[in-house]
Amino acid sequence: MGLHSGEPVRHQDGYVGMDVHRAARIAAAAHGGQVVLSDATRLLVQSRPAPRPGSCRSCPYRNRDSGLLGFP
């Protein structure tokens, strides 16, 4: 899985722009269960406090420990 944060441009056929291309390249670089982040995404994630277990109420995925799993 590859993650990139940017500003794509909405077009009648979907989204376009350099950030869309960058996201595709980052996703293509990940192999075998890896999660690869762009530097832009890494900086955004580092600037936020880590979520408390069970604090995500909007995520539909559940786990056996906290009951909820996901990002706020």
Provide the CATH number for the domain around residue 62. Answer: 3.30.70.1230
* Total domains present in the chain: 1
The H or E element spanning position 2 is strand 2-3
Residue 8's domain comprises 1-72
Which one-letter DSSP state was computed for residue 47?
T
Band of residue 71 on the pLDDT scale cut at 50, 70, 90? very low
pLDDT in tens, 8-39: 999 998 999 999 999 999 999 988 888 888 99
CA atoms of 35 and 42, how far apart (whole Å): 12
- Confidence (pTM): 0.61
Contact between residue 6 and residue 40 where contact means Cβ atoms under 8 Å apart? yes
**pLDDT of 53 higher than 90:** no
